[in-house]
Homo-oligomer: A and B are copies of this chain.
């Protein structure tokens, strides 16, 4: 019940044990095409350029940033938690000119603040986390795409922690790039990064086109670096080459991680079958129940609850209690993992997730029952049954 990775849905793990296929076997390429279509539904987009990057969620982040940003390009990174720092750090390594604005941990940005910074910086790319698990905050994005379009800025969001559990509308909100991971609301293991790109983003990437010498087939594939744009400074994360691999040419790049592909496909299939709206409502419900539950145990919640992600809550560790000892007791006595956080919140809060396969009635009530015992074991006096009762009230509507 931590902030992710979480228990994978058993159906996802079962899908991953399917026999492997050769990467150009028609059944394999059909799986790839199906997976793209499923992720279009998950991201709520018509983007043809929807695919998986073979790596953990930060591989998708780096692929987008290194493919879009040339050295010296300006990028604006609004930071409201640890993962904003990560976007900044990755953009710096792309040698972009990185401009940061910061919101206090536990809060989010107003659209006006973002627009003012865009006007000042005039970036090529706005790189903005949607849900930052370090603070549990969910940045509203609905109005940001329109601002970006007005100012000619490409809009990228890292939705790893939020996708599937909180509203997200890639096309409706005007995003140009989004990347995710499987290990949060998608109920799978880390190791695959679903990624979607708008036509505008693809155009930028295509202008940096490059085909490996070892597999060039025609003069069209010659290295055009000298005549067009600086080559993307990574082979593994060159989204132009990855698009050629996923596209009709099936031009060899990496060897697709087949088992991860099967897993990613099953994660999306389960969500799409459930219905994206239903899945988000499920996360909202169980998130509300755990929130009421920890409050019912007399605990304080960190941050602006109005902007909390549905799928994780940060609980202030009560004064005088050994927070790490309590986490150990949860794990060792009850087999339930909860997290702490990073940087300024390390040791100050616990983070409890209700996401993916763990966004379940029994998981929520079991966690609250265990937490009550652990608090009591730590010398506190939580209201007996107060957590479970409050959660049940939420479930009763």
Contact = CB atoms under 8 A, between A and B. Distances in A.
Given A20-B8, A83-B214, A189 B93 contact: no
Contact of A256 (B20, B190, B259): B190
A235 B62 CA distance: 8
B343 A88 contact: no
A337 interface: yes
A81 B134 CA distance: 46
A213 interface: yes
Contact of A255 (B190, B237, B254, B256): B190
User: Interface residues of A toward B: which range?
Assistant: 35 or more
A22 B7 CA distance: 8
B16 A183 contact: no
A343 B191 contact: no
B22 A5 contact: yes
Given A5-B22, A23-B5, A59-B54, A190 B258 contact: yes
A222 interface: no
Interface in A239-262: 252, 254-260
A243 B260 CA distance: 24
Interface stretch (A112-120, A226-234, A273-281): A226-234
A84 B214 CA distance: 8
A89 interface: yes
A55 interface: yes
A319 interface: no
Q: Please state the number of chain copies in the assembly.
A: 2
Given A20-B7, A257-B56, A331-B25, A191 B189 contact: no
A339 B22 CA distance: 9
Contact of A16 (B25, B93, B259, B331): B259
A387 interface: no
A135 to B, nearest CB: 11
Contacts of A13: 16-19, 259
A212 interface: yes
Contact of A19 (B7, B59, B237, B339): B7
Interface string A63-98: 000100000000000000111111011101111000
A14 interface: yes
A10 to B, nearest CB: 8
Contacts of A82: 214-215
Interface in A1-40: 2, 4-8, 13-14, 16-20, 22-23, 25
A57 interface: yes
A256 B190 CA distance: 6
Contact of A55 (B4, B55, B263, B342): B55
B255 A4 contact: yes
Nearest to A22: B337
Interface of A: 2, 4-8, 13-14, 16-20, 22-23, 25, 54-59, 62, 66, 81-86, 88-90, 92-95, 134, 181, 183, 189-191, 212-217, 231-237, 252, 254-260, 263, 331, 337, 339, 342-343, 346
22 contacts: A5-B20, A13-B18, A16-B17, A22-B337, A22-B339, A25-B331, A25-B337, A54-B56, A55-B257, A62-B234, A62-B236, A81-B214, A82-B214, A84-B214, A93-B232, A94-B233, A95-B233, A190-B256, A191-B258, A214-B342, A259-B259, A259-B260
